[in-house]
Chain A
Amino acid sequence: MQFTAQYDRVAGRLELSGEARMEDAPAMARVLGELRGSPPAELQIDLARVELRDIGPAWLLYDAIADLRAAGVRVGLDGAVPEHFAYFDALRAREAGSWARAAAPSVMERLAEFGRSLEERGRSWYEALVYGGRLIASASIAWHSVKRLRLPSVVRHMHETGVQAIPIVAVIALLISVISAYIGAQQLRPFGAEIFTVDLVAIGVLRELGVLLTAIMVAGRTGSAYAAELGVMKLNDEVDALESMGMDPYEVLVLPRVVALVLVLPLLTVVADAMGLAGGALLTSYLLDLPWSQFVMRLDAAIAPTTFWAGLVKAPVFGLLIALTGTLRGLQVRESSRELGRLTTVAVVQSIFLVIFADALFAIFFLEIDF
């Protein structure tokens, strides 16, 4: 039978009937809310026609009765005391500690919170420093013995982060050079200087766009993968397992990934450069009616011998930054899967930031030494 609850304030009666199941908890809560809102001096609860079947709603009733009695309301029960109530008495009698309620933080607590976050920031930098140091130590050991460099592992990571990234890197480089060639041709045409579109695309792609876009792609692809892989290993205690077997996790997990990315990013950059130039040639031949042979000649005149290298030397540095950030954040994962998600995001955002920041430093540096 359907559960119903009626509260009559004037008569001071609460009428319950039907079968109270967990689904009826909202109905029970509503009538108890009314009761708490305007409590009578004396309350009579009619339990004769109700079956308190599930304990959820029964508990809400029991709890409300206890509260009302504590507030000085005389509560009488018609009908047998529900059998669950004895169980609730036993539950309440057991020591269960106190309900922790979050109070609004005081000024001092806010200040302490701020201090803690600063300390946290500081520790994060310190950890990064320690991390770098341990990695250099592992690298110097590996320098002396090729076996400890773990070549199979390096090759596997090179395959995953390099070979498998070729299609997407190629497509992105092609599209970006097409975009810049298109805009360049359009802007230079009023000056009759369309031919310099070739210079624009060639220098832009070789010096900056090729390596930068590749690094950003790899940061999104591999930085996140590194952080997530190591984070899951950390959560599964796999890192502790390695250490317990006398293996250095830096040597086994971190170094191969770092070495692989430092090797792979320049190679990907070459792919991006080639595709970028191809895209430029394609679009200039289409927009400017420039034959390919002309394009190559113009290209030869446009770029200095150093143009290609000015882009390429940055690649290993970007690779190092991405790999370090990804692996460090992965190893910082503790306790929960939420932490894993957060640190993976941090790894991607920070590695992209570091790549662009380093690129800016490179630009200033190259300008100063006239490279």
Chain B
Amino acid sequence: MAAPVIVVREVVNRFGAQVVHDGVSFEARSGEIFGIVGGSGSGKSVLLKTLLGLRRPDAGTVELEGRDITAMDDRELRGIKRRYGVTFQHGALFTSLTVAENVTLPVTEAMDLDERSLERLVELRLRMVGLPLEAAAKYPAQLSGGMVKRAALARALALDPAILFLDEPTAGLDPIAATAFDELVLYLRDTLRLTIVMVTHDLDTLMRTCDRVAVLVDGKVIVDTLEGIVANDHPWIRHYFHGARARSMAAGREDSGGA
């Protein structure tokens, strides 16, 4: 079994009297795609923020690559954040910068590189995420939704991160673009052996890409392989994976399998 890259132990997050996470523990292993699902308000985003070090949990520890980020001071944390790539739900590209400038920003912040090398690195990242090179000179407002997600991924990959966090990577994409994005994520994992943590609502994406899934319910987390989760008899999980949407998807699968 691969070594754990992310170790979360007994994390508690509270907002006033409302307890969002009441002792959440799980591990994500090197080279796996780890899905996080949960209903609205179950604390997916808060959990992601905790993993990213943007929010300190009220109790518990988060270890990334063996280092406890909850015990670090801000300066140390900023240094370590370079090792992780993040994409946000709406891309969060800087609208006043071109795609190329967005992609080079983390690089120029971290190191001193000549123009030519920077340009070559932009080409690399764009090719990696399957964006046409013409997109480099464009501003985010000139891109389609799918291209924004790819550009955000290109920026997240700019420093060759060891761990990639994706927040709703396929939300708002049409099925074709979403499928292409899933394949891209799988391809990057297979070629670069990245550890990928994704928060997603998209059952298709979940089924196609994730090795293991963490389900946030009642402030706790249930972690299992996809098959294990689907077989779980917690009412919310049953509802999620055996609801109308899931059933129609499964039916579609069987139809195409039989044809």
Contact = CB atoms under 8 A, between A and B. Distances in A.
A306 B140 CA distance: 57
Nearest to B117: A29
A54 B124 CA distance: 12
A321 B87 CA distance: 43
A144 interface: no
Interface string B97-133: 0000000000100111110110111011011101111
A336 interface: yes
Interface stretch (A20-28, A163-171, A173-181): A20-28
Interface stretch (A95-103, A291-299, A352-360): A95-103
A55 B124 CA distance: 9
A26 B118 CA distance: 10
Interface string B119-155: 1110110111011111011011100000000000000
The main secondary structure of chain A at its interface with chain B is helix
Given A22-B159, A23-B110, A59 B121 contact: yes
Given A23-B111, A96-B127, A336 B117 contact: no
* Majority SS at the chain B contact face: helix
A10 interface: no
B133 A25 contact: no
B134 A100 contact: yes
Given A23-B110, A94-B127, A337 B95 contact: yes
B120 A60 contact: yes
Nearest to A91: B127
Contacts of B114: 29, 33
A289 interface: no
Nearest to B140: A336
Contacts of B128: 91
A259 to B, nearest CB: 33
B78 to A, nearest CB: 15
Contact of A102 (B126, B131, B137, B191): B137
Given A26-B111, A54-B160, A337-B95, A59 B132 contact: no
30 contacts: A22-B159, A22-B160, A25-B111, A25-B113, A26-B111, A26-B112, A29-B117, A33-B114, A33-B116, A55-B160, A55-B192, A59-B121, A59-B124, A60-B120, A60-B121, A91-B127, A92-B127, A96-B126, A96-B127, A96-B132, A97-B132, A99-B123, A100-B133, A102-B137, A336-B96, A336-B140, A336-B141, A337-B95, A338-B95, A338-B96
Interface of A: 21-23, 25-26, 29, 32-33, 54-56, 59-60, 63, 87, 91-92, 94, 96-100, 102, 335-338
